Chains A and B, each alone.
Chain A
């Protein structure tokens, strides 16, 4: 069969671009920072695994965990967004927009109030918070037969409600509020290897599983009737995808706080470049989502050095106008985004 050669070439070149973008952004994130390190210092510290010098400590304890965390969280959120958009058949949806991140954030805050500040328990509860919210949204969307816009409004309401719950917890347990402002904006400054490893151990296998299952996600977007006439158990499949995307979003939130808009911006950009079928969309979202988040984080911590902007604020500056752009385009094209 000749699914045209052009498409295969395009996919291959995009794949190379994606890998290069991720590698370059990671290298840049390691080279650039508030502390000015010379290239020779960096190379020495990296090649000798030297963690005693100033350069070594900055690299091994600050920059490398931070950059890797940004890459993992960016990939997780972008893929989670693409999956949510497929499951809900709603291109305006993303884990941030429909309250999934906020559900995870509430769970993380409750955990912090109970003294759980890291490890697998935190990831588990963040997942439960995210999964619970996504079940609420998808059930409501199905039963209300709600249009795309209504689901986003529902998400806005959930975001406020869950935010209020989070605020209540922080007000009642003041110890929690220390990390609060950075957590709310989304930030990688608290990244450590100890936090990164469990997050990566959850995110990377989940991503691989989703790449494997991409055809099922595509069939789901054909609509209930066609998916079922192709022999799919749509209820179970939808639940599985919601679970996996909640696992990604929950882990990202527990590692870096409420990063908004990555799950919206990246899938849309990738859809433009690689087409919308999940077999292409998901891997490219992971690559470009990781690269994009690392770049944004690098920019956020160097633009105003020695002051540091939480990366979530930078993302909001980029993402909010993009969301408006989507709304306007939707209006112009009569519904399709």
Chain B
């Protein structure tokens, strides 16, 4: 379990996160939603220790993450940022680098590492692209390649910053199905998402962020029932016959703009 305990964090004198307390359990898929600039990405980066926190503590299975060597942390927790570079290497090479935290100096990959990387590519359905340069891939395929790298990392937890952003709807859905499969296999996953009905449909729990705080946490049904979504986004999400959908209402949107 990853526990965030009263986390404050920021850039210089500007504080971004205020008193965040939450936890991510194995076998759970969590959707983090909130308006632009509310601190979603900073929250993920802070949880992955890519960004320092000024107060509070982060526990990984009961152990403070700050006292942990970065390689140990990386064996438990994978993080993918939004937007991916296309460095000069093949898909197979990229995925193999997911094994990096499992190796000791001088970090040479073994046959075992190659097997794990290969299995990760099979899972993502990109095994045939192993020798394709990253620069030749579409945005969706590149996303899959990076996700395969995170899988090859064999971590208990995966933190994803806007994994669906550059994908068309078909690729978004297959990505969400994949995340569900990973969740079912016991991984704890937290993903920043913008598509509210999609987050509601697939996630076990939703964290709604507002101005650097977690304003509301709960199951998708609970979040739908509260007023927080229409407060934040000017539109609610309706749950009807097993479907989540936006409730666009021209009047409420114009009211929201006026406020």
Query: Which A residues fall within an 8 A CB radius of B?
Result: 1-4, 6-7, 89, 212-213, 215-216, 218-219, 221-226, 228-233, 271, 275-277, 279, 336
Contact = CB atoms under 8 A, between A and B. Distances in A.
Given A3-B131, A222-B97, A271-B88, 18 more contacts: A1-B117, A2-B130, A6-B131, A212-B108, A213-B106, A215-B107, A216-B100, A219-B97, A221-B88, A223-B85, A228-B70, A229-B78, A229-B79, A231-B74, A231-B100, A232-B70, A232-B100, A275-B90
Contacts of A4: 130-131
A275 B81 contact: no
Which of A230, A232, A233, A276 has its CB near the most chain B CB atoms (within 10 A)?
A: A230
A68 to B, nearest CB: 28
Contacts of B93: 218, 277, 279
B63 interface: no
B50 A3 contact: no
Interface residues of B, number: 45
A231 B70 contact: yes
Which of B103, B115, B131, B135 has its CB near the most chain A CB atoms (within 10 A)?
A: B131
B80 A226 contact: yes
A216 B49 CA distance: 20
B217 interface: no
Interface of B: 45, 48-50, 69-75, 77-81, 85-90, 92-94, 97-98, 100-101, 103, 106-109, 111, 114-115, 117-118, 130-131, 133, 135, 146, 153
B90 A277 contact: yes
B101 A3 contact: no
Contacts of A232: 70, 100
Given A1-B111, A226-B81, A218 B87 contact: yes
B83 to A, nearest CB: 10
A275 to B, nearest CB: 7
Given A6-B131, A275-B88, A231 B79 contact: no
Which of A1, A229, A232, A336 has its CB near the most chain B CB atoms (within 10 A)?
A: A229
Which of A215, A231, A275, A279 has its CB near the most chain B CB atoms (within 10 A)?
A: A231
Given A213-B106, A226-B81, A230-B101, A275 B135 contact: no
A87 B146 CA distance: 20
Given A215-B108, A215-B109, A231 B88 contact: no
B88 A219 contact: no
B114 A3 contact: yes
Given A230-B153, A276-B88, A3 B130 contact: yes
B131 A231 contact: no
